[in-house]
Structures are given as C-alpha cells and as structure tokens.
C-alpha cells in the first residue's frame, strides 16, 4: 500500500465527488456537532430536513442552552432516541457555563460533555478546527478493514490504523473523505470496487465482502402498540411518556406496547383499566420505524372514565402542534384525519 498516493487520490476524489450536505457548508463546530448527533443511528436523507429546522430554531450554542426542553424535543420529534436531544441541550448548557459558549478544541475536553464520545469529539474538532485526530465511525471501520484486509479488526486497532493513515495536512477533509468513501462507494453489500478511487492500494479489493461488514448491527425489534384516541369537546387526550421510555419525554396518545402479536385491546385495557373504555375494533393500523424498532400500532377509539395518573392533558385539536409530539402519535393522528 502506497500511503502517500492513497491520501492524495482519496482527497482529490473527495474534493470532486462529495455530496453537498448542509453541514458541509460550514466550519461552525456547533453546527457540525448538531449534525453528528442527529446522524447517530439515522440516515442522511432523514436528517436533512430536521437539521435545517433545528438550526433555524437554535442557531447557536447559547440559543440551545437557554431553549426550553419542550421546544428542543419538538424540533427532534420523529428522529427518535430523544436522549440525544436532551444531552445536546445539557451539553450546550455546560459549554455556555464553563467554556464561553464554544465547543472545545481538544478531544479529551470535548469528551467530558455528556453524550459526546470519542468519535463525535474527533469528528467535530477535526472538521471545525483541523485537529489531527482520526474519526472512526461504522463506515470508516469497514473501509479500514477492507483496505488492510483485516478480518478480525478491533476498535483500538481500527483507531490505530486510522491514525496512521490520517492526512496531517487536511485531517478534517481526510476524515470526511473516509466516511464518504464508506457511505457511497465501499458499501456493506456490493462495494463499487470497479470505480473506487483507492482500488490500487486496497488490499481487500479481490474479496471485499470477506472483510469487515462493519460493526454488528443492532437486531430489529418488532413491537405491537395499541393506542387510544380519546376526543372530548374537540380536545385530544395525550399523556407524557416517562424519560426512559422509547418515546420518552414526548406527548403521545395513551398507549401500551406488546412484545409480539397479542390479542387486540388487552394491553391497552390492562394498562388503563378503570380509566378508559376501549372500543372492541381498531379504527386503523399504522406502521412506524424508530431506529431499530419496527412498530405496528392499532388505533382504538376510547371513552374517558377517569383521567390517567401522571402527566395527562386534553389539548385542543388546533393547538396539538404546539406540543412536542412523538412521531408515532403524529402519524396516528394524521391517519384518523387530525392534521398535525
Ligand atoms: S477497492 Fe473495494 S473494498 Fe477496497 S476500499 Fe474500494 S470499494 Fe472498498
């Protein structure tokens, strides 16, 4: 492997072929941080509209630090893994308080911020400040394992190989180029070796799929959810889910999850016994994906007997979008003709 040639070729290819993603139009560490957090477990296509809206609402660390948690969750609603949004806001508060409202320039300090791990710290500091640190995400891990034909690559070894390859002249562009190669050319299945810019120096090109399919993916979890639609005087009953829940911290229709296909109505009736009278037939069924969860939701009309304990409110139909609603509830409301 001719490392200087590989660096030259890959950087040239990246300059020519990179996708014009919105977070690539800036060197603002905050904007890059937001994009990196959103991209965790989420595709580029899904993130783009959320990123634009989020940055319009919270354009600076200070605006996020002083922003209301509900407003932050509302901007995140539908992206899933809401702990990311909460940690981002808490991190912004720490930066506003202890770091003059700026993202740290060194990896170790950045990693003291809640929710910022080695990858995110390396990506932000190299892209924004040109710090000489290699960022290894799942794509880069796969590219490395193929470039070096390394079957049992471990994370520390991958970090070491990435550090050895890093371009000292342009560390940020180098990290992005490696990620871009993994995302668009060195794909997990059917990598495009014929058109790959670094094929001459790739030791694994003869059998690319034998080397590192990447870190193991999380298995898909199928979940059946039953939801209750309770409407009184044109107001919709919503409950706030506990923070640890899959949809934690957001407002949802009253719901109950089932680990598989159970008999209709049982979970919802069990959970809201004495509080809701649930109709025997579902109005409709919707499907929803949040990260690795595949949710099938049955929506039942229900009548209120007694307000559920905890955080339950009736919200006027016209004011529903003022609350941070979960993506599943948004979809369910639209499915029954209530615009949100
Ligand atoms: S030649 Fe093939 S296996 Fe090697 S980096 Fe390029 S796409 Fe990946």
d(CA 340, CA 332): 10
First to last CA, the chain: 55
> Is residue 6 within 6 Å of ligand 1 at its C-beta?
no
Per-domain residue ranges for the chain? Answer: 3-210, 221-335
318-329 mean pLDDT:
86
Out of 56-65, 150-159, 264-273, give the one with best mean pLDDT. 56-65
Q: What CATH class has 3-210? A: mainly alpha
Residue 192 pLDDT exceeds 70: yes
Q: Say how many Å lie between the CA of residue 186 and the centre of ligand 1.
A: 5
119 in Cβ contact with 135 (< 8 Å)? yes
Distance of CA 234 to the CA centre of its chain: 34
Q: Say how many Å lie between the CA of residue 292 and the centre of ligand 1.
A: 27
131-160 mean pLDDT:
91
Residue 263 pLDDT exceeds 80: no
Q: Say how many Å lie between the CA of residue 137 and the centre of ligand 1.
A: 17
> Is residue 140 within 6 Å of ligand 1 at its C-beta?
no
CATH match of 221-335 with 3.90.79.10: yes
> Is residue 85 within 6 Å of ligand 1 at its C-beta?
no
Spatial CB neighbours of 286, under 8 Å, sequence gap ≥ 6: 296, 297, 299, 328, 331, 332, 335
The 8-class DSSP code of residue 340 comes to: -
Residues 209-259 pLDDT 10s:
777 655 555 667 778 888 999 999 999 999 987 655 555 678 899 988 765
d(CA 89, CA 112): 14
Q: Say how many Å lie between the CA of residue 33 and the centre of ligand 1.
A: 28
314-329 mean pLDDT:
88
Quickly state the pLDDT bin for 265 (edges 50, 70, 90): low
List residues with catalytic annotation. Answer: 36
> Is residue 185 within 6 Å of ligand 1 at its C-beta?
yes
Residues 41-94 pLDDT 10s:
788 998 999 999 999 999 999 999 999 988 898 888 878 777 888 889 999 999
Distance of CA 183 to the CA centre of its chain: 16
289-313 mean pLDDT:
84
Residue 210: its pLDDT value, please? Answer: 72
Q: Which of 259-263, 307-311, 313-317 has the lowest mean pLDDT?
A: 259-263
Spatial CB neighbours of 48, under 8 Å, sequence gap ≥ 6: 21, 22
CA dihedral over 322, 329, 79, 69, signed as positive or negative: positive
Residue nearest to atom 2 of ligand 1 (CA): 193
Q: Which of 147-161, 204-218, 245-259, 287-301 has the lowest mean pLDDT?
A: 204-218
Taking the complete model, does pTM exceed 0.75, yes or no? no
> Is residue 147 within 6 Å of ligand 1 at its C-beta?
yes
């Amino acid at each position: 492997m001719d490392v200087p040639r590989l660096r030259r070729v890959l950087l040239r290819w990246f300059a020519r072929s990179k996708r014009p993603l919105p977070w690539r139009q800036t060197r603002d560490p905050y904007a890059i941080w937001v994009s990196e957090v959103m991209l965790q477990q989420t595709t580029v296509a899904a993130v783009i509209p959320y990123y634009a809206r989020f940055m319009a609402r919270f354009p600076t660390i200070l605006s996020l630090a002083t922003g209301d948690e509900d407003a932050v969750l509302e901007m995140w609603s539908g992206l899933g893994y809401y702990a990311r949004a909460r940690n981002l806001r808490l991190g912004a508060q720490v930066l506003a308080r202890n770091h003059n409202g700026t993202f740290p320039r060194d990896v170790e300090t950045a990693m003291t911020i809640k929710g910022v791990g080695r990858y995110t710290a390396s990506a932000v500091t190299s892209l924004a400040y040109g710090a000489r640190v290699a960022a290894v995400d799942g794509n880069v891990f796969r590219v490395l394992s193929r470039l070096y034909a390394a079957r049992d690559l471990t994370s520390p070894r991958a970090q070491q190989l990435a550090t050895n390859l890093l371009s000292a002249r342009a560390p940020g562009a180098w990290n992005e180029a490696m990620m871009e190669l993994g995302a668009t050319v060195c794909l997990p299945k059917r990598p495009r070796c014929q058109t790959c810019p670094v094929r001459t120096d790739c030791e694994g090109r003869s059998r690319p799929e034998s080397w590192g399919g990447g870190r193991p993916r999380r298995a898909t979890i199928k979940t059946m959810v039953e939801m209750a639609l309770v409407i009184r005087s044109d107001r919709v009953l919503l409950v706030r889910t506990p923070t640890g829940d899959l949809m934690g911290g957001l407002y949802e229709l009253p719901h109950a999850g089932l680990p598989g296909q159970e008999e209709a109505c049982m979970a919802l009736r069990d959970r809201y016994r004495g509080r809701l009278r649930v109709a025997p037939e579902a109005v409709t069924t919707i499907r929803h994906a949040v990260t690795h969860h595949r949710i099938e939701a049955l929506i039942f009309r229900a009548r209120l007997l007694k307000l559920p304990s905890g955080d339950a409110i009736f919200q006027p139909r016209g004011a529903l979008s003022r609350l941070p609603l979960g993506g599943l509830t948004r979809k369910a409301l639209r499915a029954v003709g209530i615009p949100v």
